């Protein structure tokens, strides 16, 4: 009699199946967002159409809609969240007030200016569709790191004891987004965008600084922009 060997094939557990399905969904979303981001960078927010996304990704229209709530605006909103998260996900160890060019606002400025076409499109869409104060949630991580850095500066005697760190952090967020709006609309160029943000942020810090802090922040401002503030 022939011997028959039964080979037991492993069966994927329900948990593993769900995990694989979730992974596939995340990869699909990332693929759609990357294509949408490229379209927006090439020709602005109006270029993000279902037909162009389907052509660029090779996915069906139903697949694209299913992953974004059935709305083109949902896709664009997801791109915006993704864009501001790129700014927020700065390597924590790099953020510092120990040297010019390493503060949170420097990293935000660089992200805008290194991807100008894309961030101009993102900014204009956000301005037209979303209140400015809501953009704070997209910068939540960078917002919290800025708070930590300024609190540390306060403990180190660079900011006065009565400095309102919450206000300063909010000021930083509004300054960046406010000047981004002017830059995106062509009211200022990239150099002016950088200079005006840095001048606004550092003068606010100087007003709230001890003599040691004023010397440091005035020095950073002069190094970064060439503008002198007499303290």
pLDDT digits (tens, 9 = 90+) for 38-55: 887 777 667 777 888 888
**Unique residue bearing structure tokens 């869409």:** 125
15-70: CATH topology:
Arc Repressor Mutant, subunit A (1.10.10)
Contact 115, 41 (CB under 8 A): yes
Which residues neighbour 26 within 8 Å (Cβ) at sequence distance 6 or greater?
none
Q: What is the pLDDT along the chain (231 residues), one digit of tens a residue?
A: 555 555 555 555 555 555 777 778 788 888 888 888 788 777 766 777 788 888 888 888 888 878 776 677 777 777 777 777 766 666 566 788 888 888 888 988 988 898 887 788 777 765 444 544 455 555 666 778 889 999 999 999 999 999 999 999 988 888 988 898 899 889 999 999 999 999 999 999 999 999 999 999 999 999 999 988 776
The radius of gyration computed from the CA coordinates of the chain, to the nearest angstrom, equals 24
Structure tokens given for 60: 């069906």
In this prediction the pTM is 0.72
How far, in Å, CA of 194 to CA of 107, rounded? 11
Domain boundaries, the chain: 15-70, 81-225
How far, in Å, CA of 231 to CA of 229, rounded? 6
């Amino acid at each position: 009699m022939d011997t028959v060997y039964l080979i037991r094939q492993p069966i994927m557990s329900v948990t593993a199946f769900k995990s694989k399905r979730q992974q596939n969904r995340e990869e699909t979303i990332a693929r759609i967002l990357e294509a949408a981001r490229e379209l927006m960078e090439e020709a602005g927010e109006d270029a993000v159409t279902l037909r162009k996304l389907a052509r660029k990704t090779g996915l069906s229209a139903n697949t694209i809609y299913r992953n974004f709530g059935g709305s083109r605006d949902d896709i664009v909103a997801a791109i915006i969240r993704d864009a501001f998260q790129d700014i927020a996900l700065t390597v924590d160890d790099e953020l510092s007030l120990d040297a010019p060019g390493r503060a949170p606002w420097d990293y935000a400025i660089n992200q805008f200016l290194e991807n100008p076409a894309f961030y101009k499109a993102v900014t204009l869409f956000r301005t037209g569709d979303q209140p400015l104060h809501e953009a704070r949630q997209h910068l939540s991580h960078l917002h919290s790191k800025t708070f930590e850095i300024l609190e540390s500066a306060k403990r180190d005697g660079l900011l006065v004891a009565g400095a309102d760190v919450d206000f300063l952090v909010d000021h930083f967020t509004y300054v960046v987004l406010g000047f981004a709006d002017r830059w995106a609309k062509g009211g200022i160029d990239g150099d002016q965008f950088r200079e005006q943000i840095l001048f606004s942020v550092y003068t606010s810090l100087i007003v709230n600084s001890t003599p040691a802090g004023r010397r440091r922040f005035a020095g950073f401002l002069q190094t970064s922009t060439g503008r002198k503030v007499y303290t």
